[in-house]
Amino acid sequence: MTIKKGDIVKKLEEIVGREWIIKEREYMESNLRDETPDVLRPHAAEDLILVKPSSTKEVSQILKAANQMRVPVFPVGGRTGLVGGCIPIEPGIILSLERMNNLEVDKENLMAIAEAGVTLGDLIKAVEDADLFFPLHPGDEGAQIGGLISTNAGGVRAVKYGVMRNYVKGLEVVLPTGEILNFGGRLIKNNTGYDLMHLIIGSEGTLCVITKAVIKLYPKSGYSVTLVLPFDSRRDAIRTVPKILQSGVIPLAVEYVGIKELNRAAEHLGEEWPVQEVDAQLIIILSGSSEDEVYSDCERISKIAEENNAGEALIAETREEQERILRIRSNMYTALKSDMVDILDVTVPMNKLSDLMDEIDKIAEKYGIYLPVYGHVGDGNLHIHLMKENNEVPRYIEEVRDEIYRAGINLGGVITGEHGIGRIRVEKIGGILTEKEINLMKEIKRIFDPNGILNPGKILPSN
Ligand SMILES: Cc1cc2nc3c(=O)[nH]c(=O)nc-3n(C[C@H](O)[C@H](O)[C@H](O)COP(=O)(O)OP(=O)(O)OC[C@H]3O[C@@H](n4cnc5c(N)ncnc54)[C@H](O)[C@@H]3O)c2cc1C
């Protein structure tokens, strides 16, 4: 599709002012990519206009104009996505909400009211300053509220408080046709008709543009500790996880990590991982209102771990020690990235995690390759990395990916628990959802976006 750039630029200048439009490619480079590994990342189209509105009204005017002129619009957030969801793959408008970053913390209602361009880092800081807590922590604090909601982000701290969907209580959105809608609010309960708000959460910028959100907060937990539990065998580590969750202790996070990847992540940061003796490790974050409560949970977990052949636990108590552990864990992706072809986020029922790991080992053995695996085992969610071999993309990479997907599905799981479909997994969705499900989704897309201008080519196959 070619666009009449002159006409749309003129219209956009009327809406946001000349200084908030960028037409030159060299000044929009960072908006043409996300964190998807280089090998897979889709190419951005030529003929793009980057626009930065400052208000919901401006977003509405931009979408209305784009819809009338049939110009594609690609919403971008912090561009930390891993599936090419925000990449402008057709000529059109890149809609950056970075200027819309107003943030209010409502202490009385335990809610934050955040515009779409507020970053995760800014939200965490403002909430902490108000002596409250926003637990969600996907690895990159540059992600923005609009992106976190559009991808229904998860991350390491979803075991106790859930994924982004569990925090969103209200949304302000703009439809591709320009109408502004509000759902929910500073409310805990709302049963008014079909739940359109939850349809929008996780819709990856294909149904509407999110401009503002009401987000649930929690009281600051008085006390937290991070445990690192070493195991001789991975099977022992993984089978301990459901036992911990069945015990009544609900940790903030339960992560499985391997020493090889941890050391690489630590080295990348110029740091050292504190537990070296064994390969398989669980990182467990516990929080509670008092030291006694957390220590009692800690003791219960240590006992369960011991019964399942764990070695001596490392208990990190100071904020610095705990932050260092989380920092190294969060850096695992970045440290592997230069040799990475893809990062999968297959999710299975918790009691099938060991079986999935075994299947992945068999696949690695069959192809003679290194498949690093770690992740959010407390949520049944593993990150499996497909790596280059001798600096090259292995020719059988598609087969490896498909075999891992098949293993996950055969165990009652899904191919993505957090990162979504975006652009790079569109052709996979046809083999996974039924025709009826895809047709229903296409109908929903058509109702929201009759001219298909919003983030085309994402989630759903075109035919
Ligand atoms: C090191 C690292 C670790 C990560 N760890 C995790 C993890 O543990 N768990 C997890 O879930 N994710 C993780 N991610 C992925 C990523 O951080 C999340 O997907 C994040 O939610 C994306 O937010 P963003 O603002 O960067 O969105 P972007 O990447 O900019 O966009 C993502 C999608 O949201 C849409 N979008 C953005 N803003 C809007 C808006 N205002 N309205 C409508 N649509 C919009 C885009 O069109 C696109 O489809 C990780 C990424 C990195 C780099």
**Residue 53: CB within 6 Å of ligand 1?**
no
**Residue 35: CB within 6 Å of ligand 1?**
yes
Compute the distance from residue 204 Cα to the ligand 1 centre, in Å: 9
Of 28, 79, 80, the residue with max ligand 1 atoms within 8 A of its CB, to mutate for a pocket test, comes to: 80
Asked whether the CA dihedral 102, 107, 112, 113 is positive or negative, the reply is negative
| Mean pLDDT score across all residues of the chain | 95
**Residue 78: CB within 6 Å of ligand 1?**
yes
Mean pLDDT to the nearest integer, 448-454: 98
Contact 348, 356 (CB under 8 A): yes
* pLDDT of 420 higher than 70: yes
Confidence of residue 156 (pLDDT cuts 50, 70, 90): confident
Compute the distance from residue 149 Cα to the ligand 1 centre, in Å: 8
Mean pLDDT to the nearest integer, 22-40: 95
Confidence of residue 432 (pLDDT cuts 50, 70, 90): confident
Compute the distance from residue 306 Cα to the ligand 1 centre, in Å: 38
- Distance, in Å, from the CA atom of 375 to the CA atom of 357, rounded to the nearest integer, reads 12
Strand ranges of the sheet holding 92-96, from the earlier edge strand across to the other edge: 21-22, 48-51, 92-96, 73-76
**DSSP state, residue 415:** S
Residues 367-393 pLDDT 10s: 999 999 999 999 999 999 999 999 999
- Distance, in Å, from the CA atom of 306 to the CA atom of 311, rounded to the nearest integer, reads 7
* pLDDT of 1 higher than 60: no
* pLDDT of 118 higher than 80: yes
What pLDDT is recorded for position 3? 62
Compute the distance from residue 150 Cα to the ligand 1 centre, in Å: 7
Of 40, 82, 329, the residue with max ligand 1 atoms within 8 A of its CB, to mutate for a pocket test, comes to: 82
Nearest CA to ligand 1 atom 46: 86
**Residue 261: CB within 6 Å of ligand 1?**
no
Compute the distance from residue 364 Cα to the ligand 1 centre, in Å: 29
Residues 230-278 pLDDT 10s: 999 999 999 999 999 999 999 999 999 999 999 999 999 999 999 997 8
Q: Which two tokens stand for residue 455?
A: 């983030």
Nearest CA to ligand 1 atom 34: 147
- Distance, in Å, from the CA atom of 81 to the CA atom of 84, rounded to the nearest integer, reads 7
The string of DSSP codes covering 393-424 is: --TTHHHHHHHHHHHHHHTT-BSBSSS--TTT
Q: Which two tokens stand for residue 126?
A: 């403002």
Quote the pTM value.
0.95
